[in-house]
Amino acid sequence: MLIINEDHDKTEGLIQGSLFKNIFYLVVNGGSSALLGFVFILIASRYISQAELGAGSTLISLVSLVGFASGLGLNLGIIHFLPKAINRNKLINTCLIILTISSVIGGCIALLLLQSINIGDYVPTLGVMTIASLLFFAVSYNLGAFVNSLYISNKESRFVFYKDSILFSAIRLLLLAILIYLGFKSAWSIYLSWGVALGLSAIFGILIFLPFVERSYHASASISAKELPALARFSFGNYIGGILCNAPALIFPILITQSLGSQQTAWFVIPWTVVSMLLMAVNALSTALFAEGASEPEKFKYRLWQAARVGFIFVIPVVVIMLILSKQILWLFGQTYADDSLMIFRLLLLSVPPMVVISLYTTSEQVIGRVKGLLVIFTMSGGIPLAISAFTVGSYGIEIIPLSWLLSQVVCAVAAGLILLRKYHN
């Protein structure tokens, strides 16, 4: 049993601390975004065929993958360096310029990759709208994620909620409903609803919300050459680790579409979307903890165990309830999903508690700037199940993906938990 010796009352610390406030808004954002995302995919599954839904989800995964890859880890880098920056304006503008250029390059790479993905029957791979949307959505993906990091760094996570829940999630749902009402029930309906909402929320977040957070900020083409090398070193290590951690979830739909067809992609996307509701809360927890550790490293040990209590108190009961009701939850999307996605759903649910431990460990490594530990844990938790799935999904079927994912999360959680106990528990 872990005992934290602190002079002040634990409950008061949990409720009144800045960590709790950051977690509160990030969890509320994650919960509301997940709920609206649940409604979004529920509507799509009811009115759009499985093959079209799978193709649209594959296209979203492709844009998200190249968007994440072209983000260069700057969203974490800015949280770490902004509180200590000599010239905040220059540092922010430097990152925005780099992200815009890298995102355009990423959009071009997405266009090339699209030619080899098996969704040509549903999406015109060389149409003008396809090219323009890939470039615009890739830029929007990164700028939106970066401005969220600016809010979090300033401990103004409420603006993440305003931007992602009230704008992005609501606009995405509204656009899908309008397109379906007008008779457009295709992969494009899913993809455009997501992308247009992404672009509008990013623009609004930069032009409207950012001035409330960075009151002295003004856009310019200036480059912070003095702070760029340190930012690049820190960001690059987290960037590689982030790719290893996040890429599998984005590559899996593409891999399934290519190996088994877009219909089976839908069987995976539906349960993964539901499980993502819990993962958003886990990500909110680790992001808030990282922001606290970057600004007040001397309090990190207490914040770490504080975050662990919050995480497990929330995650474990919810996972148990969802396991019991798993078939009924999938039935909401249709009988086919209740039959074909049930095992996938249960395996993914079981992977959530181990991911709480992994997220706490990776956050502790990010706070102290230890890149090696990040790369090792991310390679094990993300790279290994991706490699196993890539070589075996064609032979063993779609269930090998959640199974390899679960096993890797459990192994990594055990290793990460032992390290945390040795380092932070006296």
155-186 pLDDT, tens digit per residue, is: 787 888 888 888 898 899 999 999 998 888 88
pLDDT of residue 95: 83
Buried b (16+ CB within 10 A) or exposed e, 37-64: bbebbbbbbebbbbbbbbbbbbbbbbbb
pLDDT of residue 161: 85
Separation CA 119–CA 261 (nearest Å):
9
Q: Are 131 and 114 contacting, i.e. CB atoms less than 8 angstroms apart?
A: no
pLDDT of residue 336: 79
Share of the chain above pLDDT 70, in %: 84
Residue 215: how many CB atoms within 10 A of its CB?
Answer: 8
Buried b (16+ CB within 10 A) or exposed e, 248-279: bbbbbbbbbbbbbebbbbbbbbbbbbbbbbbb
Q: Measure the CA angle with vertex 204, ends 63 and 150; round to 5°.
A: 80
Residue 376: how many CB atoms within 10 A of its CB?
Answer: 16
Retrieve residue 127's tokens: 């149409």
User: HEC states along 174-237?
Assistant: HHHHHHHHCCCCCHHHHHHHHHHHHHHHHHHHHHHHHHHHCCCCCCCCCCCCCCHHHHHHHHHH
Buried b (16+ CB within 10 A) or exposed e, 178-194: ebbeeeebbbbbbbbbb
Q: With H, G, I as helix, E, B as strand and everything else as coil, classify residue 327.
A: helix
List, for residues 246-302, the tens digit of each pLDDT value: 777 778 888 888 787 777 888 888 888 888 878 877 877 777 777 667 666 677 777
Separation CA 179–CA 152 (nearest Å):
34
Question: Is the model's pLDDT at 12 over the cut of 70?
Answer: no
Average pLDDT, the chain: 79
Question: Is the model's pLDDT at 3 over the cut of 50?
Answer: no
Q: With H, G, I as helix, E, B as strand and everything else as coil, classify residue 141.
A: helix
Amino acid at residue number 256: I
List, for residues 185-229, the tens digit of each pLDDT value: 888 888 899 999 999 999 999 888 888 888 777 777 666 666 677
pLDDT of residue 125: 54
pLDDT of residue 25: 74
Following DSSP, what letter does each residue of 67-99 receive, concatenated?
A: HHHTTTTHHHHHHHHGGG-S-HHHHHHHHHHHH
Domain ranges of the chain: 10-424
pLDDT of residue 285: 75
Count of alpha carbons within 13 Å of 235, Cβ hemisphere only?
24
Separation CA 162–CA 207 (nearest Å):
14
Residues 6+ apart with CB under 8 A from 12: none
Query: In 3D, which of 205, 197, 190 has the Cα closest to residue 146?
Result: 205
List, for residues 60-112, the tens digit of each pLDDT value: 888 888 887 887 777 777 777 777 767 777 788 888 888 889 888 888 888 77
Q: With H, G, I as helix, E, B as strand and everything else as coil, classify residue 356.
A: helix
Residue 31 main-chain phi, psi, to 5 deg: -65, -45
Q: Measure the CA angle with vertex 400, ends 397 and 272; round to 5°.
A: 100
**Long-range Cβ pairs for the range 410-417 (8 Å, 24+):** 410/351, 410/354, 411/380, 412/354, 412/358, 412/377, 412/380, 412/381, 413/353, 413/354, 413/355, 413/356, 413/357, 413/358, 415/377, 415/380, 416/357, 416/358, 416/360, 416/361, 416/362, 416/377, 417/357, 417/361
